[in-house]
């Protein structure tokens, strides 16, 4: 059966039905998106997917609401929003529609659910306060998407629908970027694992280009690695390895004597010809050649020992 209509509620919108619409309009581009609270529209029907409205969750009937009691829950008891429900049933196909390799679909589906979908579910259900983000509370995804709603005094017969249509493009870019980022990290992981094997016992990991590496280094248990080098445009970069995803602390910093120096000053401080720049925060240095960046790396290792 072909899907001809995607139905969600009219009026003001929240992140969950907006993000659900991103998934469903990608999978069913020929379907008409209807925003209504009319009982005739929000009931299950052939060719129709109803979400965030309808007071029922029934995948076979293609209705995905979460406002009823009892409300749908994850296996661990956390609440689902319409986004979580739509992702549960359509997320795998959405990833395939974005050309994610089949071998990566399950893992990326799980990662997106954990890091992107779950927070939206929790906030929409009032199970997570925006205030937990501290100074960034006003910059969370659900809050930012809701700022795209029309102002209270900018009302009109179709103001909400026009705002929803405009917000959909923004939401689509964010969801697709999140998926693309996770797919890229999966590709990078294989390259980093191969580089770790090639590096052996060396504390310096050489990569063929700039790429995400920390997660793969941790997964490999390569605790001996302190620094990473890779070509960067016409130069080479030396970077530190952060201790974790929630800290800026590194396993080892670049030497304090290099901080903020460039060109001749950095060459003199490091003793390396071709040294060009060291960030004041000592997490990255740049040199003109592989030979020079490796020399900087070896000096950084010696000082960190």
Of 111-120, 137-146, 147-156, which gets the smallest average pLDDT? Answer: 147-156
| Average predicted confidence (pLDDT) for the chain | 96
pLDDT of residue 68: 97
pLDDT reported for residue 154? 84
CA-wise closest residue to 294 among 201, 197, 222, 229:
229
Q: What is residue 230's predicted lDDT score, i.e. its pLDDT? A: 98
Q: What local confidence, expressed as pLDDT, does residue 16 receive?
A: 98
Q: What span, in angstroms and rounded, lies between the C-alpha atoms of 115 and 117?
A: 6
The sheet that has 57-58: what strands, in order across it? 32-35, 5-8, 48-51, 63-64, 57-58
Q: How far apart are CA 73 and CA 87, in angstroms?
A: 14
Quote the CA–CA distance of 105 and 179 in Å, as a whole number.
10
Place of tokens 């959405």: 94
- Residue 34, strand partner residues: 7
171, pLDDT greater than 90? yes
Full-model pTM: 0.85
Q: Which two tokens stand for residue 271?
A: 């003793």
- What mean pLDDT do residues 50-66 have? 98
CA 109/CA 182 separation, integer angstroms: 10
């Amino acid at each position: 059966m072909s899907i001809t209509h995607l139905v969600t509620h009219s009026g003001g919108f929240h992140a969950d039905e907006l993000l659900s619409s991103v998934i469903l309009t990608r999978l069913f581009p020929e379907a008409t998106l209807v925003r209504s609270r009319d009982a005739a529209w929000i009931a299950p029907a052939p060719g129709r997917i109803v979400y965030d409205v309808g007071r029922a969750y029934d995948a076979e009937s293609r209705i995905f609401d979460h406002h009823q009691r009892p409300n749908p829950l994850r296996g661990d008891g956390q609440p689902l929003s319409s986004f979580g429900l739509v992702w549960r049933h359509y997320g795998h196909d959405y990833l395939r529609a974005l050309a994610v390799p089949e071998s990566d679909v399950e893992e990326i589906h799980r990662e997106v659910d954990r890091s992107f979908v779950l927070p939206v579910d929790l906030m929409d259900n009032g199970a997570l306060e925006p205030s937990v983000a501290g100074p960034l509370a006003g910059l969370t995804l659900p809050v930012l998407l809701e700022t795209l709603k029309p102002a209270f005094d900018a009302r009109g017969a179709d103001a909400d629908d026009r705002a929803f249509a405009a917000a959909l493009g923004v939401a689509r870019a964010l969801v697709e970027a999140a998926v693309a980022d996770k797919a890229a990290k999966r590709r990078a992981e294989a390259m980093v694992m191969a580089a770790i094997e090639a590096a052996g016992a060396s504390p310096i990991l050489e990569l063929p280009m700039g790429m995400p590496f920390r997660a793969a280094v941790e997964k490999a248990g390569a605790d001996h690695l302190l620094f990473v080098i890779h070509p960067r445009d016409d130069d080479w970069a030396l970077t530190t390895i952060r201790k974790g995803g929630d800290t800026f602390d590194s396993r080892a910093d670049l030497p304090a004597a290099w901080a903020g120096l460039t060109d001749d000053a950095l060459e003199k401080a490091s003793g390396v010809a071709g040294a060009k720049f060291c960030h004041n925060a000592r997490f990255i240095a740049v040199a003109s050649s592989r030979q020079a960046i490796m020399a900087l790396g070896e000096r950084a290792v010696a000082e960190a020992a």
